Structure 1
Amino acid sequence: SIAWLILGAYVVIRTVVFLLHSLSRKYNSSLDNFLTFSIWGGVALQIFGVLPKCVEFMQTTKIPLGSTNATVWSVFLSGFSIALALFIAKWIGQFFEKWINSLPTMESNVRVVIIRVVKVVLVTIAILIGLASVGIDITVLGVFGGAIGVGLGFGLQKIASNYVSGFIILLDKSIKIGDLVNVSGVEGIVTDIKTRYTAVKAYDGSVTIIPNENFVTSSVRNTSYLLGPGRATVMMSVDYSADIDEVIELMTDIVRKQPRVLINPAPYTILTNFGADGIELTSYFWVPDPEKGTATLRSNIGRAMFREFNKRKINIPFQQRDLHIISMPEVICKVENDVPAPSKSEAKAGT
């Protein structure tokens, strides 16, 4: 009987550790050690005959809880039942999440909504089953639910608003993971949409945590909202002595040679303004993937134009001003003749 007990404890320990590792992404050795020592400790107490006495002691020791007296054993069974139910619910939720993510035709927003709703339902069912399994009337949770509703109405307005806003932006598909957005002065790519906030990763690698309420109540610029080409511009200024037709043709040809620039619609260059220092020209072009950014492309185009302008001796004007003097006041220098000559000692000293 002792051998079977030890073998059963070993199987239980390995099974529990395997399930924990399959559920959690990070290895937690402290939890493994706690479960291992707890199970081996229970086996040791059972072998030496101490475990039945401990159970009998917990069954006879009562704890006053309101109008009823619960035993230590019932409280222990309640905690164990709820923990086991939550563990099973999380395990089922993990398998369900993997199955949903494996569906190629489902959109990312719909996946996130379904996974979150299923996890909330599973946790709620696990808690109710755990409480009902130990004889606790679950109808008493109505008072607790009412208290939560009052708390959400007063002290947790922002949290409730962000929570609801998270589901709104997922369901109406205005914001999706991977979109290039600009909200609250922050521009970047949406990397994750949580229950309370949305993570936006900027081009420098930093991540900004933005409450979901901002995406619902404020204006959001979503470059990736509509799939299709996006337009970008590059502006240059040339001297008034330059041949404008030649410069326009040169700038359009430089833009057309870039790999990301679309041929249809074709790029073009127009004269934008007669500036104070030179003639301003702007090149317009389209790219098929504006969500990937156009800063590097515009920089390459500007560098190519600058090199070609230097080769063809096309001057890029700098700020200059012409100063015309209308009149000058007449300056009269009066020489005093009665100034005494310096003495020899003063002249020697240089005064």
Structure 2
Amino acid sequence: MEGQDIGTTLTELLAAATDTATQIGEMVTTPGWRQYQILILLGLVALSYVLRFVTSAPLERWIRAGEGWQKWQLRLLVQLLRRLPLVYFVMLCWPLYWVMQEVTWPSRSYLIGIAATLATAWFAVGFISRLVPNQTLRRVFSWTLLTYATLLALNLAEPAAEFLDGIAVGIGTFQVSILTVLKALLLIAILLTVARLGTRAAAAGLHRNEDISPSMRVLTIKAIQVLFYGIVVLVGIRALGFDLTGLALISGAVGVGIGFGLQKVVSNLVSGIIILLDRSIKPGDVISLGETFGWINSLGARYVSVITRDGKEYLIPNEDLITSQVVNWTHSDDYVRLDIYFGASYHDDPHKVRRLAIEAAKGVKRVLVQPNAPVCHIVGFGDSSVDYILRFWISDPTAGLTNIRGNVYLALWDTFHEHGISIPFPQREVRLVGGAQSDGTAPQG
């Protein structure tokens, strides 16, 4: 029966298409208003390209001369420039169609109305499809809508729908037709577009809200993404005709088996949620984990992106940040204290050395004077020098620690050299007991 229904529907569709082609052929070859309408449409097409040739250059100059354009406005204008002939054709076709509807018989503007409808549909679909993020879904979305608009304008939509609905694949009691698949793909493309725009708008609003901490912003954005895209998946499955009740039972049984093989993944996901909730780290924090020192670039569902001073980006699993000892240099605030050690000669006045060291540190850029000024203390009497520690504070650890230490050491060197403070180094004296032979060998015992 299904084969007979498909054959009957296909026959009807072919008959309708043949009838439409015959009518188009008659319109072209038979003198009269139908032929006049075709000539009018050809004239409108030619006029549209002439207008495009005349106005494209001034429009480009106007866009380039404009200031303060936002990205979406520039993209919109670029798309309009690419479709200028189509824009002019629509702008010319509809007024002509409305005038002819009023001043003459409706049949004498029938083809112009079809052409205006198709051109408008192609123009609208071209813009709307740009919102679909996935390129494959974008093509499916565009061609599906264009095909539907064309069939609808030519009164072939119902026979085509019946034909596509008749081509179905059955598995037991479950059947899915080509029409159902096309509708599901179109619905998924629309929902993905809405989900993408919704998550972008929510993320932009959350980033502008200073009352919410960065970690809570990330967590909220992730939750919104999971919610939106989860709805897209469920609606897409439902649109294909699957029974979600049976699918839930199967997924529950499969999930138990998969869970054992994804323990680490689940652990990282849970650890990521804990990190976002307890706000222990957030984007922009400077952390140390083992040999890795850098700042948090982003918080992911499975890992944290850390960028070091040498430009390397480490993807650290969330579980490591929970179970390992992590130094967060900017957890409570951005102030970081650094210590450097140096020695001075016993002949130099320690009071003067301490004063000069503090002055040298204060003269280095990035070293804070308020609220915590640099301090210098004696920490011991060494074999070759009096040992000192110089402590100072900075408020921008993301700019690096090694470089500021190096700058302070360099300032100490210049200041001590200017004021005659010597920095001693260990010296050793080697004595040969019993003398040495003339040939350089040790004496025989």
- The answer on whether the counterparts of 1:224 and 1:291 sit within 8 Å (CA) in structure 2 is no
Q: 1:230 aligns with which of 322, 330, 336?
A: 336
CA distance in 2, matches of 1:5, 1:127: 37
**CA distance in structure 2 between the aligned counterparts of 1:228 and 1:68, rounded to whole angstroms:** 61
Distance 1:241 1:253 in 2: 20
How do 1:164-183 residues align onto structure 2 when only pairs under 5 Å count? Answer: 164-183=270-289
Give secondary structure in 1 for the equivalent of 2:434.
coil
- Whether contact under 8 Å (1:6, 1:43) holds in the other structure is no
Within the alignment, does 1:203 sit opposite 2:309 as a pair?
yes
Using the alignment, how far apart are the partners of 1:30 and 1:70 within structure 2? 21
User: CA-to-partner distance for each residue in 1:113-168, whole Å, 9 max, x for gaps?
Assistant: 11211221122223333444565432122124314522442121121111121111
Gaps of 5+ in 2: 1-109, 441-445
- 1:67 is aligned, of 161, 167, 173, to 173
Once the two structures are TM-superposed, the CA of residue 214 in structure 1 deviates from its matched residue by 1.3
Distance in 2 of aligned mates of 1:272 and 1:163: 47
Tell me the amino acid that sits aligned with residue 244 of structure 1: P
Map 1:252-291; keep pairs closer than 5 Å.
252-259=358-365, 260-291=367-398
AA of the residue aligned to 2:203: E
- Residues 86-106 of structure 1: per-residue CA shift (max 9 Å, x gap): 333333233222222232322
Per-residue displacement from partner, 1:285-315 (whole Å, max 9, x unpaired)? Answer: 2234445444333222211211122223322
Structure 2 distance, partners of 1:256, 1:184, is 31
Instruction: Verify the 8 A CA contact 1:23 1:91 in the aligned structure 2.
Output: no
Partner of 1:327: 434
Between 1:92-101 and 1:153-162, the stretch displaced more is 92-101
Return the offset for 1:254.
1.7
Alignment of 1:24-103 (within 5 A): 24=133, 35-44=141-150, 52-103=158-209
Shift of 1:19: 4.3
Is 1:141 equivalent to 2:247 in the alignment?
yes
Q: Are the aligned partners of 1:2 and 1:47 in contact in 2 as well (CA < 8 Å)?
A: no
Pick which of 1-10 and 291-300 moved more.
1-10
**Other-structure match for 2:406:** 299
For 1:41 and 1:240, locate their aligned partners in 2 and report how far apart those are by CA, in whole Å.
92
User: What pairs up with 1:181-220 in 2 under 5 angstroms?
Assistant: 181-220=287-326
CA displacement at 1:199 relative to structure 2: 0.9
Distance 1:279 1:37, change over 3 A: same
Conserved? CA contact 1:78–1:130, under 8 Å: yes
The answer to whether the 8 Å contact 2:285/2:329 transfers is yes
Give the TM-score normalised by the residue count of structure 1: 0.80
Question: Residue 230 of structure 2 corresponds to which residue in structure 1?
Answer: 124
Structure 1 SS opposite 2:377: strand
Change (3 A) 1:145 1:54: same
Q: Percent identical across equivalent pairs?
A: 27
Shift in Å at residue 60 of structure 1?
1.9
Name the residue aligned to 2:418. 311
Q: Secondary structure at the match of 1:91?
A: helix
- Which shifted more, 134-143 or 160-169? 134-143
TM-score calculated relative to the size of structure 2: 0.65
Bigger Cα displacement from structure 2, 277-286 vs 206-215: 277-286
RMSD: 3.1
